Every structure is written in structure tokens, then in C-alpha cells.
């Protein structure tokens, strides 16, 4: 398996790891094994340097000043938007709205699209594997409007039951909101096909892309997504950065989400007229340094051959799946045929929090808990899972350390 991973991928793992300073430290006297990438990925030196340059040489507000620093900051900020546009293949940069992260992106659409287009008796379709960020904004909207939240069920593997999805779509459906990749199960959903089906009913689709954009190349035009939302901190950029991509024809029709400075054309006490895209949805001073950092993270991903990174990471996931499946007492939660990055598991008679704490003693960072996906835990009848989640800088040796440490946990509790 060692040679399989190395030969198939042709991936220079040593060079890649050297780009991420955090990875070379020790934790509890052991080399850090960072397997909590679904929560937040690490940041390469080039992104750190870009943020530092902004703070050292360019720090100022954007879109407001005529002075040198402000103009430079504005140029860098808008260049980051262009990079996002090219990275996800949006038609226009103004379709890429900077938000604080995926949560804010979904809330923006639920608030703005929802308040304009969802009415009493309408239906909002989500799935049983959604993160709370793609459940609660819709639930709140449904309560306010007297609309109904409907849920696409999943099977025992943690895959969407697509026939049920097709049955749930109807003329009352006003939006479908579904994750591209589940953060608790790792399932990759067939969103392109799901979008095509929804469009037959004239229904727009929001894709929660928090766990897809960091793990494989995406093309929003090819998917034909109406809204596509993701967080920078899961894709090698700082916290506070993130993007809501929306088709211009929808964004133009939607009212502002937040109001205040930066999003207006004219203001009198009688009436305010709004700026066009993207400013209409970017009230107040945004996370300038963080979003410039997101642009730098995209430059980094382009520089390393992101498609090759995705292939390597997927092989690593397959290797880890094989290794953990072979350990007696380990149960994998989420065994979909199409998966990315995430390996959730339980160990008989050991609470996932104890697994997480013991692994930490060996320098291994995983996440234990419900992963903000309590309905998934309810479906699998577990209170929580332990979750290892991979990035392209993880190694086969780290998977071996994980597997050995899991075996030790089992031995301790046996």
C-alpha cells in the first residue's frame, strides 16, 4: 500500500509539508499529526506572508479612500475576488460575495432569497446529512413564513436516497439546499445531477461547499449551481474569509442582507438606493486581510497542481479506510461509495471524547463530537463519532500512527 500511495500520486509530500510551518511542531512530545482538516485546515507560509504584508505595508480601509494605502488595499481585495472567480469558474467576479464563512453565506441566502421568494405553504428541501449551518437558517425561515422544511433521507451507507429526492421535489418547492460533501460522513453528493433535476421544476439550488472546495477542483458553471458557499479557513486561508457565489440573475433580484456603509448608492432620510453587485451584499468593513489571504491560498493551490493534490488525498483516504476497517472493534460511520477527506468512526464501549483525548496524548488531532450534524448522529444512533479528516499534506505514515494509537485505545479499554 505504501508504494501504491507514493507511485500512483507522484506527489512530493516532503516539499508540500515544508510549506506549512505548523506541521513541524511536536505536541505532547510527539510529532503533530494533524487530522482535523474538516474543522480548519492549516495555512501555508505564503498565505501567512501575504497577510503580514497587508498588515505591515497596506493596512487601510477599502473602497473609501483616495489615498495610496486605501487604493492598494482595494486593488489587493478585488484581485482576491478575481482569483476566487477563476478558481471556481464563476462567470463574473461580482457573483462572488465575500462573507465571513459558509455559515454567513447560507444565512445570507435564507434571509435574502427566503424573505423575497418563500411564502406560506411553500417547501424548502434540505437533506438528512446537513451541517446545522444548512439546517437552522432554513428552519427559522420556514417558521417565520409558514413554509415547510422537507428532508431528503439517507441510507445506511450515508448516501442520499435520490429517488426520494425526486419524489420530494414539486411545484411548492422554492429552494433545495444540500451539501456537496458531508462533514460528518464524508459522502460526496451527486450535486450536478441533483441541480439538473431541481431545475426541471424551476427550483434553484444552494450547495454547501464547505467540505468540497478544499478537496477537489470545482466548476460552478459546470455544476450549474445557483448558490455555492464555502469558508476560507477550511481551504488553507485565514478565518473570517469566505465566499457566497450566486448567479447574477438571482443576486440582482434579492434584497440586501445587512445594511449600512459600503452597500448604498444614495441615502436620504426618506429613501436609500443600493449599490450593485457585489457591494449590495457587503455592508460595513469586511475581513480585508483574511480575504486577501484567501486570494493567496488560491494562488498556492494553483501553484501545487490542485488536481494532483486531490488524487493523492483520495488515495490516502482509501488507505486509511482500509487500515481502520481492519481493526477489530472499530466501526466506520459513513461508508458511501463516493467519499472525500472524512473518516468517522466509533469504538465499542469507548466514548469518542475519550478517543480524542487519548489520541491527543500521542500528538494526534482529530475531532470528536456530533460535528454540528446531530440529525446524522440520530440516524446512526450514536451520541457522537471520532473523526479523522485529511488534507493533501497528510501522510501514509500519519495514518499508520493513527491506526496504532486507535489499537492502543482499544487495548486500554479492553
For the residues of 157-201, what is the DSSP string, one character each?
A: TS-B-HHHHHHH--TTEEEEEEESB-TTT-BBP-HHHHHHHHHHT
Query: What minimum distance in Å lies between the beta carbon of 109 and ligand C6P?
Result: 13
Does 366 bind ligand C6P (CB under 6 A)? Our answer is no
Distance separating alpha carbons of residues 225 and 196, to the nearest angstrom: 9
Q: Is 136 in the site for ligand C6P (CB under 6 A)?
A: no
Closer Cβ to ligand C6P, 50 or 367, answer by number: 367
Is 96 catalytic? The answer is no
CB atoms under 10 Å from CB of 138, counted, come to 24
User: Is residue 189 within the footprint of ligand C6P (CB under 6 A)?
Assistant: no
Q: Verify binding: residue 128, ligand C6P, rule CB under 6 A.
A: no
Judged by CB under 6 A, the residue of 50, 81, 83, 131 near ligand C6P is 131
Considering only the stretches 5-13, 126-134, 145-153, 307-315, report the one whose residues sit in contact with ligand C6P under the rule CB under 6 A. Answer: 126-134
Asked whether position 372 contacts ligand C6P by CB under 6 A, the answer is yes
CB of 229 to ligand C6P, least distance (A): 8
Which residues is 104 bridged to in the sheet?
none
Long-range contacts of 205-208 (CB under 8 A, 24+ apart): 205/175, 205/176, 205/177, 205/178, 206/106, 206/109, 206/134, 206/175, 206/176, 206/177, 206/178, 207/178, 207/179, 207/180, 208/102, 208/106, 208/130, 208/131, 208/133, 208/134, 208/177, 208/178, 208/179, 208/180
Angle made by CA atoms 87, 106, 54, in degrees to the nearest 5: 50
Binding status of residue 183 toward ligand C6P by CB under 6 A: yes
Q: Work out how close the CB of 33 gets to ligand C6P at its nearest, in angstroms, rounded to a whole number.
A: 17
Q: According to CB under 6 A, which one of 9, 173, 179, 385 is a site residue for ligand C6P?
A: 179
Q: Is 241 in the site for ligand C6P (CB under 6 A)?
A: no
Supply the minimum distance, in Å, between the C-beta of residue 331 and ligand C6P: 20
- Is 334 among the residues that bind ligand C6P (CB under 6 A)? no
**Own/partner long-range contacts of 60-64 (Cβ < 8 Å, ≥24 apart):** 61/285, 61/288, 62/285, 62/286, 62/288, 63/262, 63/279, 64/262
Q: Quick check: 102 binds ligand C6P (CB under 6 A)?
A: yes
The answer to the question of residue 103 lying near ligand C6P (CB under 6 A) is yes
Q: What share of the chain is helix, strand, coil (3-state, %, to 5)?
A: 45, 20, 35
278 binds ligand C6P (CB under 6 A): no
Nearer to ligand C6P, 231 or 346 (CB): 231
Q: Which residue stretch of 46-54, 208-216, 258-266, 293-301 sits at the interface with ligand C6P (rule: CB under 6 A)? A: 208-216
CA-nearest of 145, 161, 141 to 153 is 161
- Asked if 215 is part of the footprint of ligand C6P (rule: CB under 6 A), the reply reads no
The reply to whether 208 sits near ligand C6P by the rule CB under 6 A is yes
Active site residue: 149, 168, 264, 372, which one?
A: 372
Task: Rule CB under 6 A: say whether 101 interacts with ligand C6P.
Answer: yes
Q: How many residues bind ligand C6P (CB under 6 A)?
A: 17
Candidate ranges 44-52, 74-82, 203-211, 404-412; the one touching ligand C6P (CB under 6 A): 203-211
How many CB atoms lie under 10 A from the CB of residue 109?
Answer: 28
Return the bridge partners of 373, or none. none
Main-chain dihedrals φ then ψ at residue 286, nearest 5 degrees: -85, 180
Instruction: Work out which of 210, 290, 296, 406 binds ligand C6P, going by CB under 6 A.
Output: 210
- Grid cell in block for residue 170: 414539486
CA–CA dist 206, 203 (Å, integer): 10
Quick check: 187 binds ligand C6P (CB under 6 A)? no
Cβ-count burial 176-198 (b if 16+ within 10 Å, e if not) = bbbbbbbbbbbbbbbbeebbebb
CB-based contact 95:246 (threshold 8 Å): yes
Q: Judged by CB, which is closer to ligand C6P: 101, or 262? A: 101
Question: Other CB atoms closer than 10 Å to residue 121's CB: what's the count?
Answer: 10
Stretch of 130-138, 144-152, 257-265, 327-335 lying at the interface with ligand C6P (CB under 6 A)? 130-138
| The binder of ligand C6P chosen from 133, 175, 263, 298 (CB under 6 A) | 133
**Cβ closest to ligand C6P, residue 51 vs residue 137:** 137
- Interaction site with ligand C6P (CB under 6 A): 38-39, 101-103, 131, 133-134, 179, 183, 208, 210-211, 231, 367, 371-372
Which residues have a catalytic role annotated? 372
Amino acid at each position: 500500500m505504501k508504494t501504491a500511495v507514493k507511485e500512483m500520486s507522484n506527489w512530493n509530500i516532503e516539499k508540500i509539508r515544508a510549506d506549512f510551518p505548523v506541521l513541524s511542531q511536536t505536541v505532547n512530545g510527539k510529532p503533530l499529526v494533524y487530522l482535523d482538516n474538516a474543522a480548519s485546515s492549516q495555512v501555508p507560509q505564503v498565505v501567512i506572508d501575504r497577510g503580514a504584508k497587508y498588515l505591515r505595508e497596506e493596512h487601510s480601509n477599502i473602497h473609501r479612500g483616495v489615498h495610496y494605502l486605501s487604493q492598494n488595499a482595494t486593488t489587493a481585495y478585488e484581485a482576491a475576488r478575481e482569483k476566487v472567480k477563476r478558481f471556481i469558474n464563476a462567470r463574473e467576479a461580482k457573483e462572488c460575495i465575500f462573507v465571513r464563512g459558509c455559515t454567513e453565506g447560507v444565512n445570507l441566502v435564507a434571509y435574502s432569497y427566503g424573505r423575497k421568494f418563500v411564502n406560506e405553504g411553500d417547501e424548502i428541501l434540505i437533506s438528512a446529512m446537513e451541517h446545522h449551518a444548512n439546517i437552522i437558517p432554513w428552519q427559522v425561515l420556514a417558521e417565520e413564513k409558514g413554509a415547510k422544511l422537507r428532508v431528503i433521507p439517507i441510507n445506511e451507507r450515508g448516501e442520499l436516497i435520490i429517488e426520494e429526492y425526486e419524489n420530494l421535489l414539486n411545484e411548492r418547492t422554492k429552494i433545495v439546499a444540500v451539501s456537496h460533501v458531508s462533514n460528518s460522513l464524508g459522502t460526496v453528493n451527486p450535486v450536478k445531477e441533483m441541480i439538473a433535476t431541481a431545475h426541471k421544476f424551476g427550483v434553484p439550488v444552494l450547495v454547501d461547499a464547505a467540505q468540497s472546495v478544499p478537496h477537489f477542483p470545482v466548476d460552478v458553471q459546470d455544476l450549474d449551481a445557483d448558490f455555492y458557499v464555502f469558508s476560507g479557513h477550511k481551504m488553507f486561508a485565514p478565518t473570517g474569509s469566505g465566499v457566497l457565489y450566486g448567479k447574477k440573475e438571482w443576486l440582482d433580484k434579492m434584497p440586501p442582507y445587512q445594511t449600512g456603509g459600503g452597500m448604498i448608492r444614495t441615502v436620504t432620510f426618506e429613501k436609500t438606493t443600493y449599490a450593485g453587485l457585489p457591494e449590495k451584499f457587503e455592508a460595513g468593513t469586511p475581513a480585508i486581510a483574511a480575504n486577501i489571504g484567501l486570494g493567496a491560498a488560491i494562488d498556492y493551490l494553483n501553484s501545487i497542481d490542485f488536481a494532483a493534490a486531490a488524487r493523492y488525498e483520495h488515495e490516502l483516504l482509501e488507505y486509511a479506510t482500509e487500515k481502520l476497517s481492519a481493526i477489530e472493534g472499530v466501526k466506520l460511520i459513513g461508508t458511501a461509495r463516493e467519499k472525500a477527506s472524512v473518516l468517522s468512526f466509533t469504538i465499542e464501549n469507548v466514548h469518542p471524547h475519550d478517543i480524542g483525548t487519548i489520541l491527543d496524548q500521542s500528538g494526534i488531532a482529530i475531532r470528536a463530537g456530533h460535528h454540528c450534524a446531530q440529525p446524522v448522529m440520530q440516524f446512526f444512533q450514536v451520541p457522537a463519532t471520532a473523526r479523522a479528516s485529511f488534507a493533501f499534506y497528510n501522510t501514509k505514515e500519519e495514518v499508520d500512527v493513527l491506526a496504532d494509537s486507535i489499537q492502543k485505545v482499544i487495548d486500554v479499554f479492553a
